[in-house]
Each structure stands twice: as structure tokens, then as C-alpha cells.
Chain A
Amino acid sequence: MSSEPEFPELREGEGVISDVTESLWRNASPAWVDSTGQITSQLFKAMPKDGGQLSVAQSRLVDAETHYNDFTSLGLFSSGVYFISVGQVLDAAARKSAPVRCVDDNGLVEAPQAHAFIDYRAMTGSQPEKVAGLLKRAALANGIAFCPPST
């Protein structure tokens, strides 16, 4: 008998994104794009400091170029914006029997705008690693959404 995943309760103002066609932007650090064009699965894995919440931006609220500019204006480095859809996130998690949800918290985060996060907090063991690997594949298949002129 399987038990329901134990996600933390959403905060006021947060909501689960239900539109599976929604694209989620993700800036890639230059160091995470190899000269061969390969990107690391780490791009889709929450870092310890993220507390299981992988930051993305929502395509219905902001385009990829604007998200790049928002991101780099914070003093962070990006070689471009990759994306996966909400449907791809759910599919990747389902293939690995991993609990996941995409959460809109726009307005609760000061910057960048149109913020959302992929919620890894109910995953256990190697599930985040495997889901991140599948999302990396999906992002590479989707292609880069915005590449700054200088790169």
C-alpha cells in the first residue's frame, strides 16, 4: 500500500501550477554548459541551500530574454535560458515514482519576477538525482530558449 507524499503545506499566496503546457525557464551558469554543448543534470537538481525548491520562472508571466536580464541583473552569471514544461516535470517524476509539484510563488519572492519552484521536498533517496537527469534530457531536447548575443 503506498502512502501519499508528504509535501509541506503551501504558504499563503502559493499555488500548484496545473497547466502542463506552461514552460519553466531556468538560467544555466556558464560553468554548467560544457564546451561540447552538454549541460549538467545539476541544473535541475536543488542545491542544499535551496531546501528542495528549484527556482524557475513562468513563461505565462515573463519571456526567456526578460528572465535572463532579471537573473543577471542580480549579479548572477548565465550562458542562456533552458526550459522544461510542467508536463515534462510531472512525467519525469512519474517515471521514477517520485513525488513532485510545480509551485507558483510569484510575488512572494522579491526577484526575479514570475518566480516558481519545482518542489523536490517530498522526494527521498536517489529520486532527485534521477528526476534531474531526465529533466536535463528534456531540456536539451527542447533546445535553448534564449542565448545572449555574446555567447
Chain B
Amino acid sequence: MAITFCHVSTVAHMPNEDRFGVIRLRGGRYERSGLPLAAASELARYERLVRNVARSLYLDDHPGRQRAPRGDQFDFELRLTSVESGSVVPVLERSASGGLFYGDNTEYFERSRVTINDALRSFNAGVPPRQFPQDCLDDFRVFGRTLTDNESFEFSDTEKSNNPAVLDVRTRQLISDYADLGYLDVETLLIGRVTGLRTQPTQFDFIVADTGKRVTGSYRGTAVWSQLRDVLGEGPRAQLAALTVVARKNDDGEISDISDVLSVELTLPDSWRARLQYLAELGDGWLDETSSAPTAGVLDAAEQVLLGCLDEGLQRPGIFPTSVGGIQLEWETATREARLTVMPDGGIETFWFSVADDAESGAAFRDDGIAQALSFIKEALS
């Protein structure tokens, strides 16, 4: 998919020469139809990067000035005027209302675009960029933070250019290394539990569900504080929440902390969550003197399975403890009964049978086989 940016004074019919290079968004989400909403924030970051690099270039050329022209004199805006098919090709055009910078100085935006492209090529070649302004590294390193491993942005002068400048996760890591930050900001979804919340400083404590790693996060604004408070809980049985965050990854690719929270959502519907909470409060002997309560590990695994049920579009199962400390999920249709049992050791056992005839099937999975187990159940119920 490719995007056309143009720098325009009005968004009427823009001549091709106002097209602001060619950006092609490739891989992952960008290979499907439509423009992912994440692209909007990335294009905004690109606009900011272009503007700030242009300012820096201007100041280099005008050493007597303390700052670039302000307001209309340095107005720069990119307009998304169309999205072309292929990979995502957004058509960006420059928008400027005239003034000092537009006209005599409009070259700075074009130079900025070229400088950014050259810097990307340098980073990817393993060579430090010669001309990239150091004071714009912060803008550079946040650009592309929604990229996943199989996605990239390509920047070309024209549609037929053969040597696009590429920004992908690897390039971002190289930029981060060059800036000597020791971390890489990424925008990502984290599932886990908020176990502490403070206002001074504005921080919260978070346990990542799949690794158990504890990280400290920062947030901004009372709205986010309120959302975090809603999911705040004590200890390991705090409600499981999905946080879209800007997280910092260290050189090992591990999340070291959370620098901002963009959204907070509970991950299970109320009745599902309440049922798990009920099971979490069971003690040994809940059925008879020999029965065991589900362990925290079993509860976590069951929660992951239920999250998978939502992803697979499966109806809410009956959620029950087993006498030996497992959790059994049960589905019933007019013709079939299906079970998925999280065993005390974390393994998963599945079984279904037909009410009407002799058909039946069962399978066992390891604790990392949730997706396969749910596929088994989904097929049984379809």
C-alpha cells in the first residue's frame, strides 16, 4: 500500500510536482485492504520529523538566527489526499499558506525529506548519517514505533525509484543505538495486571501476564489515571487488562518500562471475569476434604484460554473447577458436548462427543498449546 503526501496550499487538484515523495507501507497490516488507523499517527510523526529537520537545516543556513520563522512563515502541513492500492501508498501533499518559508524557503522541506531518506539509507548500511541534525534524533526514533517485525515503510523520490529508503524495526534499533539511548520505544499492546497506582509521580505498577515481569509505567492525565484505577487490583488476582502503551525495550528486546499509556481496556467480559474471580477465591476442600483449589498458574492459564475464546469468537463456556485443582470449560450445542480442561500441571486436555451418534474425539496439548486446543474446540462446535 502506498501513500501520497503533498504539501499544498489548498487541497484542490494538486499537480504531481507537489507530491511529497512516495511512501510505501509494506507487510503485515498494510497488505490487507484499507489503511490501518495506526498509519495516521505514524504519518503525523513523519510530518513532525520533516518539519523539525527542515527547521534545523534552516538554522544551519542562517547562523545568525536563534530560531526558524514562526507561524505562517514556517507553516508546513502534509495532507493525505489519496491512498493508492498495491501495498498501502498514501498520497501526501504539502500544504502551506504562503509566507516566508513557502516560496523562497520551501526547498527546506524537500531537503528535509531527502535528508531523512539519506539518513535511513546510512543507518541500514551500518554507517552513521553525515548530515542528519542531532537535535532531531528524538523525532526520528519515535517514528515507526507501531511497526511490527514484518512491516516496513519505504520512502522514494518517485513511484519508479529503485532504491527506496527503508524504515523497519531493525532500522529503528540502529537509530536508537546511534542515539545511544540503550532502549527503543515501541507502541504495543500489553496484557497484564495493574497492581499499584500513584499520582506523585504519575506512575503505576504492572505485571506482564505471559512473563510475570514487573515493570513500572508512567501515564499522563486524569482520564488515564481513572482508567488505570478501574482495573487496579491487589496481588496476582488483579483484573487482567489490555494496555496500549509506549514501551521501552532494552537491547535484549525486553520491555524495561512503560513511558506512556494510550488506552486501557478490561480483557474479559464482566461475567467471565467474575466467574474466574469466584474460582480464585476457592480454597482447598471446596468440594470435599480431598479437593484442591485451582492454583494461580491454573487460573492464569484459564484466563489465557478464555481470552483465546474471545479471539476465536467462541461462546462463553461454562467455567468450573475440577476436584483436583484444574479448571474445566464446557460448551454445549444441540448435538455436541465439548470440554477443555486446564490440568493442575498446566497441560490442556480436550474432548468432544456427539449426543446423537458415536462420534467423539479427544486430544491433549502442552501448556503452550492454547491456540491449537481452541482450534480443536472451535472445529468441534462448528
Contacts of A133 in B (CB 8 A): 337, 353, 355
Q: Does A31 contact B (CB under 8 A)?
A: yes
**Within the complex, what minimum Cβ distance (angstroms) separates A49 from chain B?**
6
Let me know if A31 and B320 touch, CB within 8 A: yes
Say if the beta carbon of A42 comes within 8 Å of chain B: yes
A81 within 8 A of partner (CB): no
Complexed CA–CA distance, A39 and B321 (Å)? 11
Interchain CB contact under 8 A, B282 and A31: yes
Minimum distance in angstroms from B209 CB to a CB of chain A? 23
B337–A42 touching, CB < 8 Å: no
Q: Nearest-CB distance from A23 to chain B (Å)?
A: 22
Which residues in A have their C-beta under 8 angstroms from that of B337? 41, 130, 133
Take A40-B320, A76-B288 as given contacts and tell me if A137 and B275 are in contact as well, using a CB distance cutoff of 8 Å. no
Residues of A within 8 A of B332 (CB): 38, 137
Chain B residue at minimal CB-CB distance from A126: B360
Contact of B318 among A34, A49, A76, A77 (CB under 8 A): A34
Q: Are B271 and A35 in contact, with the CB atoms below 8 A?
A: yes
Chain A, residues 29-65, CB within 8 Å of chain B (1/0): the string is 1011011101111100001110000000000000000
Given contacts A38-B330, A126-B351, contact A47 B323 (CB under 8 A): yes
CB pair A42 B318 closer than 8 Å: no
Interface size class of A (residues with CB under 8 A): 20 to 34
Residue total for B at the interface (Cβ-Cβ under 8 A): 29
A34 to B378, CA, bound (A): 21
- Assembly CA distance A31 to B330 (angstroms): 14
Whose C-beta in chain A lies nearest to the C-beta of B361?
A126
Known: A38-B330, A130-B360, A137-B332. A31 touches B321 (CB 8 A): yes
Instruction: Tell me the smallest distance from the CB of B231 to a CB of chain A, in Å.
Output: 21
Alpha-carbon distance between A48 and B322 when the two chains are bound, in angstroms: 11
Give the residues in chain A near B319, CB-CB below 8 Å. 34
Contact between A137 and B320, CB atoms less than 8 A apart: no
Inter-chain contacts of B320 with A (CB < 8 A): 31-32, 34, 40, 42
How long is the Cα–Cα vector from A92 to B243 in the complex, in angstroms?
48
The distance in angstroms between the C-alpha atoms of A137 and B271, with both chains bound, is 22
Question: Would you give the shortest CB distance from A145 to chain B, in whole angstroms?
Answer: 20
- Chain A hits for B328, CB < 8 A: 40, 42
Shortest CB distance B298–A (Å):
14
Q: How far is the CB of B314 from chain A (nearest CB, A)?
A: 14
Contact of B353 among A38, A42, A129 (CB under 8 A): A129
Say yes or no: is B262 at the interface (Cβ < 8 Å to chain A): no
Within 8 A of B (CB), among A94-139: 96-97, 126, 129-130, 133-134, 137
Interface pairs (5), CB distance under 8 Å: A29-B286, A41-B330, A42-B322, A49-B288, A49-B290
Using a CB–CB cutoff of 8 Å, the interface residues on chain A facing chain B are: 29, 31-32, 34-36, 38-42, 47-49, 76-77, 96-97, 126, 129-130, 133-134, 137
Interface residues of B (CB under 8 A from A): 271, 274-275, 278-279, 282, 286-288, 290, 316, 318-324, 328, 330, 332, 337, 339, 351, 353, 355, 358, 360, 362
4 shortest A-B CB distances, which residue pairs?
A: A38-B318, A40-B320, A133-B337, A34-B318
